[in-house]
Chain A
Amino acid sequence: MKSAPRPPLYAISLLSACVLAYEVLLTRLFGIVLWHHFAYMIISAAMLGYGASGTALTLLKEKIAPHSGAAFVVATTALAVLMPAAFWLAQQVPFNPLELLWDRSQLNKLLAVYLLMMLPFFCGGLGIGLMFAQFGKQSSRVYACDILGAGLGSLGVIGALFLLPPPQVLAALTALALLAASIAVAELKLRPGWLMELFLGLAVLAAVALPPIPVHLSAYKDLSQALNIVGARMVEERNSPLGQITVVENTQVPLRYAPGMSLNATSEPPPQLGVYVDGNGPSPLTKFDGNLAPLGYLDQLTSALPYHLLNRPRVLVLGAGAGSDVLQALYHGSPAIDAVELDRNVIDLVGNRFRDYAGDLYGLPNVHVHEAEARGFVEASSAHYDLVQLALLDSFATSSAGLYGLSENYLYTVEAMQSYLDRLAPGGMLSVTRWLALPPRDALKLFATAVTALERNGVTDPAKRLVMIRGWKTVTLLVKNGDFTLHDIGAIKRFCRTRSFDMAYYPGMRTIDGNRYNRLAQPYFHEGAVALLGPQRQAFIDQYKFHIEPATDDRPHFFRFFKWEAAAELFALREQGGMALFDWSYPRLSRSSAFRCRSPAFMSSNWPALVWARPCWPRIDPITCMPPRSSPIWRCTSSRDANHPWSG
């Protein structure tokens, strides 16, 4: 076959659009099926596929060159087939990420998922690479179309996800890839001519008849667990690029969500619907008929503390979700509540679809709902509030498993906290509630973040503006715009005593008062808070076995608590209950990275780099995926001296 004189620019654009749209779509699909950090795996699988296709092209260039046009069409068609097929096959692999550190066979299953997901990108990369190789003199035009298509695909899929559920978007991409093959036949003037009609027909067929690939959530996700309960049924499902929202009703065994409710509480939550985002949650949508009495349980949570220090405060709720914190503010008599929620689907569920169930919560005259990103809203606002409440939206399961370890979060950074503090009226308070983790992680990191934010705001003695209490499952931090008074401290003590919550820190607190009701082996939280306010703060942060350095906008990984230095100790303790101390996203990342490094495709696509880098590579422990302590890498990357506890 003779080479086409002109590159198939439309087909290249479309192919590139499909590949990038597929990549974005997979991050959504894997976020639903597993957990969000598999998005990172998809990006690396895509890179691997592209890299491997480059190697294949280099090695097979001579053989493919005479048939590059046909090969482009074959690669495009293979992409169309493999996009749904690889995702379907990957779901058949019984991979359970939660078992990764218990069961080494999970590593093979993860590798299988990884390689399967690489295949479509291999085909896509092969198609684009072929055109670069074939039309070298026109590579600028090929590149322009490639980039243009990639951009359009990335943007287009976001728009598509507003309109269609992810599986239908996948079917649409299959159709588009077949359309690209059809256009390529025409542009390259390939024979037989009916090939164009064939691919066009297949594209139409795929668009109208390809059944959506079923998306099976991990059995260990919160939504799967909720649906397993006798009587559970799904009553609503909505999709957007922000997430798949599922509402679950169970009249037989109703959801009763009251995170860390006091053990002294005698009331129970009213019936609730569970709102799950990408299978994680729930955010409770509480039945409300205007009667505040059934909401008494909301006064039994650690997050109720600021309402006992402020009289009918004007409240800003950041991350309102299905309205739990708004109800709490209403219960405590707040005259004006601004509720900020990012996802319009969630707002619509509360405000329209379940308006009667929710008692028209978001339509009440003193509740103002803002569809906005919380941080952006705060930065743009000039209003001042008596209370800024940062909601506890992530689930206990995902949080305690360290599944957010790799995700960026701009709500818990030093700069974010400075912005929240700027919105406080004189005497106002910022209230942040987190899950209680043992040994302390979130709470101390949050405390350290608040101390730094206050210092940056010019507060000379942050110790006077901070209060932290803990229940058996949650921790609440208060940061005041002003010093806490003796009257405040008296109210805090009363609040904690009647609910059997412990005080972790208040100005002038004695250590003995920090471990009364929910006793720990040591008053870890108080000790940590005091250390973070003292002159040895940085030394404490450095020596603490979890990463509690405050997150900043430059390094917005608030949920990263894992320190590689502690990994070996933690892994050795896994059978003695130490497994829960891992941030699981990190070991998973390391394992996926480890086998990525060992995979033949990676070796083939990166061999020059490997040969070049080999002498520098540390030996990797196959179990921990870490260099041994004796490895030079520790000496290179750590400033610790030989006397440091970790150095031995």
Chain B
Amino acid sequence: MKHLLALAASLLIFCAPPCRGDEYAAERQRMVKQVQADAAEISYGVLSPQVVAAMAKVERHRFVPFWLRSLAYHNRPLPIGHGQTISQPFVVALMTDLMRLKAGDRVLEVGTGSGYQAAILAGIAASVYSIEIVEPLGKEAGALLKSLGYRNVQTRVGDGYYGWPEAAPFNAIIVTAAASHVPPPLIKQLKPGGRMVIPLGTQFMTQSLMLVEKNPDGSVTSQQILPVAFVPLTGGH
């Protein structure tokens, strides 16, 4: 009963006041354009149309506390409680794009957070499995995603270290939870040819994005991508 009440209160916080149509559509479009422009400015290049479409469709304001809704489409991370944040849209777009998802793909997300990243993934992939280690956050996000009609997202609360073996292998894995190392079981659950994306940094700033690719022979290679057009060296070197 206590859990139900807490859940109801959480839903109230995240969904209230009642949304009147899509009053944020214009802001969302502006945000997407800015994200596209930012991606073009760095050496990264052009975001895939699927990512752009998903970013344009998913209502980010639904995933932030209602008192922060006016900031929902600013290109910045926002606090969502429990010491967690909803990632900066630009970083979400880059991470999703790096996964190179296809329509039939199966994706694992470790660190559900607000559920926004899962919603973006659900707009592109066939199925999304998302694990959250912070119980209230996981329950809130799961209920929210369900209420918003994301039927291809499955969530659960628990330890993400061992992934989701029942649903493995995955075409792509995203590890948004801070970890000192990449859990070996997650690499095992990645399909050959699959891609894993890990943001490195802290809640309010992503230092770099690590892309781990599993080769057909099972070996892995990685690359670290600086999500910013910044050259540390000046001329002459």
| A interface, CB within 8 angstroms of B | 96, 98-99, 102, 218-220, 224-225, 228-230, 252-253, 256-261, 263-268, 396-397, 400-401, 437-440, 472-473, 500, 517-521, 524, 527-528, 531, 536, 539-540, 543-546, 569-570, 573, 575-582, 645
Chain B nearest CB from A356 CB (Å) reads 25
Chain A nearest CB from B160 CB (Å) reads 9
Chain B nearest CB from A641 CB (Å) reads 14
Known: A400-B202, A645-B235. A520 touches B228 (CB 8 A): no
Interface check B5, CB cutoff 8 A: no
Contacts of B192 in A (CB 8 A): none
Subset of 26 A-B contacts with CB under 8 Å: A99-B79, A220-B202, A229-B134, A230-B135, A253-B161, A397-B202, A439-B226, A472-B182, A473-B180, A473-B181, A520-B223, A524-B232, A524-B233, A528-B233, A536-B236, A539-B236, A569-B230, A575-B38, A575-B90, A576-B38, A576-B229, A577-B42, A577-B91, A577-B228, A580-B207, A645-B235
CB distance B237 to A540 under 8 Å? Answer: yes
CB distance A575 to B180 under 8 Å? Answer: no
Question: Which 4 pairs from chain A and chain B are nearest by CB?
Answer: A577-B227, A439-B232, A219-B83, A261-B181
Chain A nearest CB from B125 CB (Å) reads 23
CB distance A545 to B232 under 8 Å? Answer: yes
A644's nearest neighbour on chain B, judged by CB, is B234
Give the contacting residue for A252; candidates B159, B201, B223, B235; CB below 8 A: B159
Contacts of A267 in B (CB 8 A): 184
> Which of B180, B184, B220, B227 gathers most chain A CB within 10 Å?
B180
Interface check B222, CB cutoff 8 A: yes
CB distance A517 to B133 under 8 Å? Answer: no
CB distance B201 to A580 under 8 Å? Answer: yes
How many B residues, CB 8 Å from partner? 60
Give the contacting residue for A98; candidates B41, B202, B231; CB below 8 A: B202
Interface check B168, CB cutoff 8 A: no
Known: A224-B83, A397-B202, A473-B200. A543 touches B233 (CB 8 A): yes
> Which of A96, A438, A536, A570 gathers most chain B CB within 10 Å?
A438
Contacts of A264 in B (CB 8 A): 219-220
CB distance B180 to A259 under 8 Å? Answer: yes
Contacts of B185 in A (CB 8 A): 268
Contacts of A265 in B (CB 8 A): 181, 184
Contacts of A96 in B (CB 8 A): 79
Known: A575-B38, A575-B75, A578-B230. A500 touches B221 (CB 8 A): yes
A540's nearest neighbour on chain B, judged by CB, is B237
A578's nearest neighbour on chain B, judged by CB, is B228
Chain B nearest CB from A496 CB (Å) reads 14
A582's nearest neighbour on chain B, judged by CB, is B205
Give the contacting residue for B224; candidates A257, A519, A540, A579; CB below 8 A: A519
Chain A nearest CB from B210 CB (Å) reads 6
CB distance B232 to A543 under 8 Å? Answer: no
CB distance B222 to A397 under 8 Å? Answer: no
A300's nearest neighbour on chain B, judged by CB, is B181
4 further A-B pairs in the complex, CB-CB below 8 A; given A259-B180, A473-B180, A500-B221: A524-B233, A545-B234, A577-B226, A580-B201
CB distance B234 to A544 under 8 Å? Answer: yes
| B interface, CB within 8 angstroms of A | 34, 38, 41-43, 75-77, 79, 82-83, 88, 90-91, 94, 133-135, 157-159, 161, 178, 180-185, 187, 200-208, 210, 212, 219-237
Give the contacting residue for B203; candidates A220, A519, A577; CB below 8 A: A220
A573–B90 CA distance with the chains assembled, in angstroms:
12
CB distance B206 to A580 under 8 Å? Answer: yes
CB distance B230 to A266 under 8 Å? Answer: no
CB distance A256 to B178 under 8 Å? Answer: no
Contacts of A577 in B (CB 8 A): 42, 88, 90-91, 94, 206, 226-228
A258's nearest neighbour on chain B, judged by CB, is B181
CB distance B82 to A228 under 8 Å? Answer: yes
CB distance B207 to A438 under 8 Å? Answer: yes
Give the contacting residue for A472; candidates B158, B204, B222; CB below 8 A: B222
Known: A265-B184, A438-B224. A102 touches B204 (CB 8 A): yes
Contacts of A266 in B (CB 8 A): 184
Give the contacting residue for A253; candidates B133, B202, B221, B229; CB below 8 A: B133
Chain B nearest CB from A227 CB (Å) reads 9
CB distance A230 to B133 under 8 Å? Answer: yes
A438–B185 CA distance with the chains assembled, in angstroms:
27
Chain A nearest CB from B194 CB (Å) reads 13
Give the contacting residue for B201; candidates A229, A400, A546, A645; CB below 8 A: A400
Chain B nearest CB from A226 CB (Å) reads 10
> Which of B83, B91, B236 gathers most chain A CB within 10 Å?
B83
Contacts of A260 in B (CB 8 A): 180-181
Contacts of B158 in A (CB 8 A): 230, 253
Contacts of A438 in B (CB 8 A): 207-208, 224, 226
CB distance A573 to B230 under 8 Å? Answer: yes
A577–B76 CA distance with the chains assembled, in angstroms:
9
Give the contacting residue for A544; candidates B205, B210, B233; CB below 8 A: B233
Give the contacting residue for B222; candidates A396, A519, A576; CB below 8 A: A519
Give the contacting residue for B230; candidates A102, A520, A570; CB below 8 A: A570
Known: A500-B222, A544-B233, A580-B205. A229 touches B228 (CB 8 A): no
A102–B226 CA distance with the chains assembled, in angstroms:
20
A26–B229 CA distance with the chains assembled, in angstroms:
40
CB distance B43 to A579 under 8 Å? Answer: no
Contacts of B200 in A (CB 8 A): 400, 473
A268's nearest neighbour on chain B, judged by CB, is B184
Contacts of A580 in B (CB 8 A): 201-202, 205-208, 228
Give the contacting residue for A519; candidates B88, B223, B231; CB below 8 A: B223
A253–B207 CA distance with the chains assembled, in angstroms:
26
B161's nearest neighbour on chain A, judged by CB, is A256
A219–B123 CA distance with the chains assembled, in angstroms:
31
CB distance A263 to B220 under 8 Å? Answer: yes
CB distance A397 to B178 under 8 Å? Answer: yes
A4–B203 CA distance with the chains assembled, in angstroms:
59
A518–B226 CA distance with the chains assembled, in angstroms:
13
CB distance B203 to A575 under 8 Å? Answer: no
B91's nearest neighbour on chain A, judged by CB, is A577
A328–B223 CA distance with the chains assembled, in angstroms:
28
Give the contacting residue for A576; candidates B41, B159, B183, B233; CB below 8 A: B41
CB distance B204 to A579 under 8 Å? Answer: yes
A257–B226 CA distance with the chains assembled, in angstroms:
25
